[in-house]
Amino acid sequence: MRELTYAEALSEGLIQAMERDASVFTMGVGVDDPKGIFGTTLGAYRKFGDARVFDIPLSEPALTGAAIGAALHGMRPVMVHARNDFLLVTMDQLANTAAKWPYASGGTHVPIVIRAIIGRGWGQGAQHAQSLQAAFAHFPGLKVVMPATPYDAKGLLAASIREDCPVIFLDHRRLYDQREEVPEAYYEVPLGEAVVRRYGDDVSIVADSIMVADSLKAAAALEREDISTEVIDLRTVSPLDDTLIFESVRKTHRLIVADTSWQSFGIASEVVSRVTRNVFEYLKAPPHIVASPDVPSPVSFPLERLFYPGAGEIAATVRAILSDTEVYQTAAVNKPIDEEFHGPF
């Protein structure tokens, strides 16, 4: 065990997966660049060269189609996109071909990993800062992964590459510098299994990606107020780990879902729906969602700071749900709990 950053863990996970399986190759815009997709693909390029790690033209639909063809012929492509926003132009290939091919062909495997980055900060704006996991999770046949820690970044990437179905792997730029101990050896973290990051008794917070870190900050602050908060890291948003979520709600009787995307029509809404359908009788208060307002992200850095919820909003929602008061989805609420965001991104 030694400490790695989230970015270093992604790099090591990719290299080890490629060492174990000669059918794995990596392609994407800038994967061979000195910056190497923020340092996450350069190690693989230096080790394997451009025969297995290579740059591609900026044509997402064409190259996604090529990846599907390679997968159907026994390869395991890893496609890397610098922004998850532009996977939308590949939706026909992903939703109508890759996801449905096993169903339409009698079980033919399509082992593809589409690794895409959720951007935020540095004036990313409406077209470069979206978090689109709900759009991909909507389609049966696609799995959607959102690691929140370096350990999971490495293990989930390895497991995703071993999957025989298409996997959308979303990593968040604000997590790249996070550090923790990561095993040196190859390992996998199974898809579809959430994990409790912090145990508590008063309220359950179910979170994904960067919102896990914000939820843990909020929980630490609330502990000083004698509020015991349980934090669940989804890790995989499709499939969802209903069992762990339901067990937590049965214990705490209250639910907050913190999602990186918008408030409406998202993963958070799905979690709330499943909880109210299956363990409604255990709830002592209505579930609440902490997510971005239903408008496009602003470009202005100060406005962006107000747009995205963080630890302050999560803590305020916990207090409100425990005191049965109205929840105000206002970015100014208890903002000091949230750490200052420093670029450059």
What stretch of H or E contains 174?
none
Measured CA to CA, the distance from residue 158 to residue 154 in angstroms comes to 6
Query: What pLDDT shows up at residue 343?
Result: 33
Kindly report, residue by residue over 250-299, the tens digit of the pLDDT: 999 999 999 999 999 999 999 999 999 999 999 999 999 999 999 998 88
**Of the listed ranges 65-79, 154-168, 285-299, 315-329, the one predicted with least confidence:** 315-329
Residue from 73, 81, 128, 172 carrying the catalytic annotation = 128
Checking phi first, is residue 74 left (phi over 0); if not, alpha (psi -120 to 50) or beta?
Answer: left
CATH 3.40.50.970 residue ranges in the chain?
2-182
Q: Which residues contact 118 (CB under 8 A, 6 or more apart)?
A: 84, 129, 130, 131, 170, 171, 172, 173, 209, 210, 260
| Predicted local distance difference test score (pLDDT) of residue 176 | 94
The partner residues of 5 in beta bridges, in order of sequence, read 179
Closest residue by Cα to residue 110 from 50, 179, 165, 170: 165
Q: Is residue 138 annotated as part of the catalytic site, yes or no?
A: no
Closest CA to 313 of 228, 214, 202, 230: 214
Query: Mean pLDDT across the stretch 180-185?
Result: 97
Residues in the chain: 345
Burial of 74 (0-12, 13-18, 19+ CB in 10 A): exposed
Give the DSSP H/E element, type plus range, for residue 225: none
- The residues that bridge with 144 in the sheet, in sequence order, are 168, 238
CATH of domain 195-337: 3.40.50.920
The mean pLDDT value of the chain amounts to 91
pLDDT at position 325 is 63
pLDDT at 251: 98
Share of residues in the chain with pLDDT > 70 (%) = 93
Question: Which pLDDT band holds residue 327 (cuts at 50, 70, 90)?
Answer: low
Q: Which secondary structure element, helix H or strand E, spans residue 90, and what is its range?
A: none
Question: Each residue of 187-199: pLDDT tens digit?
Answer: 999 999 999 999 9
**Nearest-angstrom CA–CA distance, 154 and 177:** 14
Range(s) for CATH 3.40.50.920 in the chain?
195-337
> Which CATH superfamily includes the segment(s) 2-182?
Thiamin diphosphate (ThDP)-binding fold, Pyr/PP domains (3.40.50.970)
- Mean pLDDT of the region 305-313: 91
Find the helix or strand (DSSP H, E) in which 233 lies: strand 229-233
Q: 284: exposed, middle or buried (C-beta count within 10 Å: 0-12, 13-18, 19+)? A: exposed
Phi first, then psi, for residue 27 (nearest 5°) are -140, 150
